[in-house]
Amino acid sequence: MKKIKKTIVLCMVALLVSCHDFLEVDLPNDQLTADLIFKDDQLAKAAMAGVYRSLEEKGFLSGSSAGGGGYMGCYADELVSYQISTSNLTQLYSTTVNPQSNVVKTLWNDTYNQLYSINRVIAGLTASTGLSADVKAKLMGEAYFLRAFLHFYLTQTFGDIPYVTSVDYVENSKIKKTLSDQILILCLDDLAKAENGLPQQLSPGLRIKPTKMAVYALKARIFLYKKDWDNAIITSSKVIAQGGYTVETDLSKTFLKESKSSIWQLEPIKTGNNTKEGSFYTILSAPPTQVSLTYDFVNSFFPGDQRKQKWIGSKSDVQQNMYYFPSKYKQSSVTATTLENSIVLRVEEVFLIRSEAYLNKLMLSQALSDLNIIRTRTGLAAFSSNIPNEIMHEIIQERRHELFAEFGHRFYDLRRLEMLDDVLPLVKPQWKPFNKNLPLPESELLLNPNLGAQNDGY
């Protein structure tokens, strides 16, 4: 009887969080399923667990070959793709993406499917009267946080996009795009809602759910992108002042699940599994069949930078050609217990955000102090200058070397700093200014004329 009950429960949760085409009509019994799930704390938690599982498997927050880190790393100047010319990774690497490309449809649909599931959870929680107050508030906070995070990535990748908050088929089938600047404001609105129900922080090793500090870290990033320097400083300082997050001086510990610098992680589905990044990026035999780091990136490190020694692996083929790969995550297979979770937010980024915000306020000593907290623990000497442009150049370099192969930071940094057209044509002859946005999937424009025109250039 227990086994039968468990199977029924899992089926109900799977129905609630299953992938739908963005414009697919709801199943007739969805509401009944939602009513049953959101009367029970454990079932409601299971519904949210389904969302996390999807995030780890695919889309912007996945470390897999179908994830944002691999996609945008290939699109920028971090990764080389060795897959066939029609593959998602190679189309991005070669700048041959077009509105009919599978990669744009996949990334768009995967993300909006995840948003659909998140909005189903929000709707179910909102209507529920059977959940404990603490569970309802926490799950609601997690859902709003994730909704903001995914829309942030969508707008930084596609430009103007729909900000979807409904599960109503008719409404979604006619939804219009929202300007990118307004998307960031809506993200901040959702983060304000998220903050109320989330715990302040979690202990090292247990940081697999969003917290108030994760909200502040994401807010700080959004304020940086908005060039709202004051609020970027305020929100990043909240994380730094909290005291529970410290920069790992031992670089070999930065990407362990117990890392003290980690703010929010995605946990593998099964005990003993490790990160998608570990299995995707690690080159076990050469030549590689997936991706490797570009030689330009590997050669850009200063001598003595321990990140090159500890976070980059190498493998040679029989002709002694050397290939380099991200080795932040050391585990590429199953272990007795899970050793590494995928770290989405960490305090090192927060220090670099505050450094850049201080610099733009011409608070040079504060900018240098935060920059050197990151720099000196890698074996490099402290950087000193009273010239803002020189400090900014160093911040960009630190972000490149600190955050590589982490959810597309390099591409999004070049994009927000309007440096794409200066940097990428040097390594991508086909690069054009309009490539700063991926094209909207043609199939979506045909389904919903209200989405308006295709992105410029496509």
d(CA 72, CA 407): 7
3 state DSSP class of 293? strand
**CA within 13 Å, CB half, 131:** 24
Instruction: State the virtual CA torsion across 414, 111, 173, 31 in degrees, nearest 10.
Output: -150
d(CA 122, CA 118): 6
Enumerate residues 6+ apart whose C-beta is below 8 A from 339.
Answer: 256, 257, 274, 330, 331
d(CA 316, CA 324): 9
d(CA 287, CA 83): 11
Output the six-digit token pair for 322: 């050397």
Q: What is the pLDDT along the chain (458 residues), one digit of tens a residue?
A: 444 344 434 444 554 554 444 433 343 344 445 667 899 999 999 999 999 999 999 999 999 999 999 999 999 999 999 999 999 999 999 999 999 999 999 999 999 999 999 999 999 999 999 999 999 999 999 999 999 999 999 999 999 999 999 999 889 989 999 999 999 999 999 999 999 999 999 999 999 999 999 999 999 999 999 999 999 999 999 999 998 999 999 999 999 999 999 999 999 999 999 999 999 999 999 999 999 999 999 999 999 999 999 999 999 999 999 999 999 999 999 999 999 999 999 999 999 999 999 999 999 999 999 999 999 999 999 999 999 999 999 999 999 999 999 999 999 999 999 999 999 999 999 999 999 999 999 999 999 999 999 999 99
Q: Please give the backbone phi and psi of residue 49, each rounded to the nearest 5 degrees, phi first.
A: -60, -35
Q: What is the pLDDT of residue 31?
A: 47
How distant, in Å, are the alpha carbons of 181, 221, 353, 364 from that of 357?
19, 10, 6, 10
d(CA 164, CA 117): 11
d(CA 435, CA 31): 41
Distance of CA 429 to the CA centre of its chain: 27
Q: What is the pLDDT of residue 37?
A: 85
10 Å Cβ neighbour count for 9?
16
Q: Tokens 């999807």 map to which residue?
A: 54
Helix ranges, 227-334 (H):
229-242, 276-281, 295-298, 306-311
Q: What is the pLDDT of residue 4?
A: 38
Enumerate residues 6+ apart whose C-beta is below 8 A from 10.
Answer: 46
Q: What is the pLDDT of residue 7?
A: 40
**Helices (H) and strands (E) in the chain — how many of each?**
20, 6
> Do the beta carbons of residue 347 and residue 245 sit within 8 Å?
yes
Q: What global pTM score does this model have?
A: 0.93
Instruction: State the virtual CA torsion across 161, 124, 187, 221 in degrees, nearest 10.
Output: -120
Q: Residue 342: which of 60, 73, 151, 79 has the closest Cα?
A: 60
d(CA 447, CA 211): 37
**CA within 13 Å, CB half, 115:** 28
d(CA 306, CA 322): 19
d(CA 418, CA 367): 21
Architecture of domain 241-405: Alpha Horseshoe (1.25)
> Do the beta carbons of residue 454 and residue 112 sit within 8 Å?
no
How distant, in Å, are the alpha carbons of 8, 45, 110 from that of 116?
22, 17, 10
